[in-house]
Chain A
């Protein structure tokens, strides 16, 4: 009698973890499918023109028909995102390290970085085209100015959140500022940095598309713009779908990276 509730407890825990896994996805999947069905039905019933709202089936047809073109464009855009993202992370980390390590330089740099954050970066796209032409460079530049900031800011927050008593311990044994930076502050900032990196991954996708809108001869952004001038709205939606898939893929890649880099982070704690 007395051990029965314990058995039930462990069973229900297993059951709840199973229903959690399916239960968290299931409503979203159902809603998504329902939306697609309603969308299709509304377009057909009201005979809405395909260049205003294409039906999901028409988008799918366009996706299949233009598959080769779309894949090539996806590859180009993915390359820009990856390259731009990596540059943003490296530059973002470098700026954070300089601000923390060199006090005077940091006090000069930090307000300017924050100030720069208020510049609407999308508006820089035409200028970057003017400076760097139509190739890869303006896209990388645009992704960089859009995506470095969350990296810098999150890493700074992590480096500055080190407990004072830990710093006291380090100081008492005569640790140098560089030792404190690389042995304590930098590893301590990694969970924050990874959170910032995930934001940067999402922003990189936006940066690449904005860069392609402003001037490009390839990539999904270019496909979207070209197709819309042709009133091929189904192709616009097909490209949009692929952009979203790219965004999700980059986000989850960053999430997996997080698990590899900081398995000890509080959010993964078993306790």
Chain B
């Protein structure tokens, strides 16, 4: 019966910098099939922050996210999430995952999909508890009145909202998202980004977002890490100083425009293969 309520934002805005890092990766390298995918990654992600990983295809940003999630073991180096290994953290329901495809179960409705992972993670919860939690999460992502719809009755954006609700139902410390809006059209994508920001501010979760989109990275995150290719490594890091709460009008801010130019320059440089490995 231990359904923890979503931590309210309270008087403490989620965007105040915390000094403790929730996630820290130290000299992480990953070799897959004799290919050096990630080289010497050092990454600190403060608790409650919104961090984006951006880079060209093949830079290993998805692999890095999988390392943080405990789905890929680093060949060398270490990752700690609140002092635990990623796998331990995942078992303690500290990690919520969202992928590009919503991967909902087509035979379950939205509310049962939203509570599906929680039901597996915590067997003590009754069906009614799970339903209540699922419903609560659907409301958080703005799908409160679609609880009984099956995935084939939902749009792509709505399915992705359910996937976010499913991750949040675990009440994780960190939300790891791998191009969650990559398959959506531009307008839906903007709306989803804005919703994600609101969810972030209401729940105070730490969010790590892998994205291809420069606009999305700047619109949403506080820190952006740029990854380069051959081998995958962090080439630059950029702090986004734009104040929260942000909405889509932030994209017209001169500072936003300046950051887009700056990030685009960094990304262009990241397309050049790195030095000797």
Interface residues of A (CB under 8 A from B): 163, 165-166, 168-175, 179, 183-184, 187-188, 190, 262, 264-266, 269-271
Contacts of A184 in B (CB 8 A): 105
- Max chain A C-beta neighbours (<10 A), residue from B95, B100, B105: B105
| 4 more CB-based (< 8 A) A-B contacts, given A168-B99, A172-B70, A174-B120 | A163-B103, A168-B71, A183-B116, A190-B107
Cα A265 to Cα B106 in complex, Å, equals 8
**14 contacts across the A-B interface (CB closer than 8 A):** A168-B69, A169-B166, A170-B120, A173-B90, A173-B91, A173-B117, A173-B120, A173-B170, A174-B120, A262-B107, A264-B107, A266-B152, A269-B152, A271-B153
Q: Is B202 part of the binding interface, using a Cβ–Cβ cutoff of 8 Å?
A: no
Contact present for B106 and A172 (CB under 8 Å): no
Contacts of B116 in A (CB 8 A): 183
Contact present for A174 and B90 (CB under 8 Å): yes
Cα A168 to Cα B152 in complex, Å, equals 22
- Expressed in whole angstroms, the minimum distance between the Cβ of B101 and any Cβ of chain A is 6
Cα A73 to Cα B121 in complex, Å, equals 56
Contact present for A172 and B105 (CB under 8 Å): no
Contacts of A169 in B (CB 8 A): 97, 99, 103, 117, 166
Contacts of B93 in A (CB 8 A): 173
Contacts of B99 in A (CB 8 A): 165, 168-169
Q: Which residue of A lies closest to B163 (CB)?
A: A169
Q: Is B15 part of the binding interface, using a Cβ–Cβ cutoff of 8 Å?
A: no
Contact present for B120 and A179 (CB under 8 Å): yes
Contact present for A165 and B101 (CB under 8 Å): yes
Checking B101, B106, B121, B150 against A173 with a beta-carbon cut-off of 8 angstroms, the contacting residue is B121
Checking A173, A174, A270 against B152 with a beta-carbon cut-off of 8 angstroms, the contacting residue is A270
Checking B69, B100, B120, B151 against A175 with a beta-carbon cut-off of 8 angstroms, the contacting residue is B120
Q: Contacts A163-B103, A166-B103, A187-B107; is A172 near B95 (CB within 8 Å)?
A: yes
Contact present for A271 and B152 (CB under 8 Å): yes
Checking A166, A171, A174, A270 against B71 with a beta-carbon cut-off of 8 angstroms, the contacting residue is A171
Cα A187 to Cα B104 in complex, Å, equals 12
Cα A264 to Cα B153 in complex, Å, equals 10
Contact present for A264 and B103 (CB under 8 Å): no
Cα A188 to Cα B107 in complex, Å, equals 8
- Expressed in whole angstroms, the minimum distance between the Cβ of B62 and any Cβ of chain A is 10
Cα A271 to Cα B100 in complex, Å, equals 20
Cα A171 to Cα B70 in complex, Å, equals 10
Contact present for A187 and B105 (CB under 8 Å): yes
Contact present for A264 and B152 (CB under 8 Å): yes
Q: Which residue of B lies closest to A269 (CB)?
A: B152
Cα A35 to Cα B13 in complex, Å, equals 80
- Expressed in whole angstroms, the minimum distance between the Cβ of B6 and any Cβ of chain A is 18
Contacts of B71 in A (CB 8 A): 168, 171-172
Contacts of A266 in B (CB 8 A): 106, 152
Contact present for B101 and A174 (CB under 8 Å): no
Contacts of B66 in A (CB 8 A): 168
- Expressed in whole angstroms, the minimum distance between the Cβ of A55 and any Cβ of chain B is 51
Contacts of A163 in B (CB 8 A): 101, 103
Cα A117 to Cα B128 in complex, Å, equals 47
Contact present for B152 and A183 (CB under 8 Å): no
Q: Contacts A165-B101, A187-B107, A262-B107; is A172 near B90 (CB within 8 Å)?
A: yes
Pairs of residues from A and B, 4 with the lowest C-beta to C-beta distance, nearest first:
A173-B121, A165-B99, A166-B103, A172-B90
- Chain B 26-37 per-residue mask, 1 if CB under 8 angstroms from chain A, else 0: 000000000000
Cα A188 to Cα B108 in complex, Å, equals 11
Checking A172, A174, A264, A269 against B97 with a beta-carbon cut-off of 8 angstroms, the contacting residue is A172
Cα A265 to Cα B105 in complex, Å, equals 11
Contacts of A188 in B (CB 8 A): 105
Q: Which residue of B lies closest to A166 (CB)?
A: B103
Cα A271 to Cα B105 in complex, Å, equals 16
Q: Which residue of B lies closest to A180 (CB)?
A: B120
Q: Which residue of A lies closest to B69 (CB)?
A: A172
- Expressed in whole angstroms, the minimum distance between the Cβ of B158 and any Cβ of chain A is 12
Cα A168 to Cα B67 in complex, Å, equals 12
Contacts of A174 in B (CB 8 A): 90-91, 120-121
- Expressed in whole angstroms, the minimum distance between the Cβ of A92 and any Cβ of chain B is 21
- Expressed in whole angstroms, the minimum distance between the Cβ of A236 and any Cβ of chain B is 46
Cα A168 to Cα B70 in complex, Å, equals 10
Cα A174 to Cα B120 in complex, Å, equals 8
Cα A187 to Cα B105 in complex, Å, equals 9
Contact present for A168 and B97 (CB under 8 Å): yes
Contact present for B152 and A165 (CB under 8 Å): no
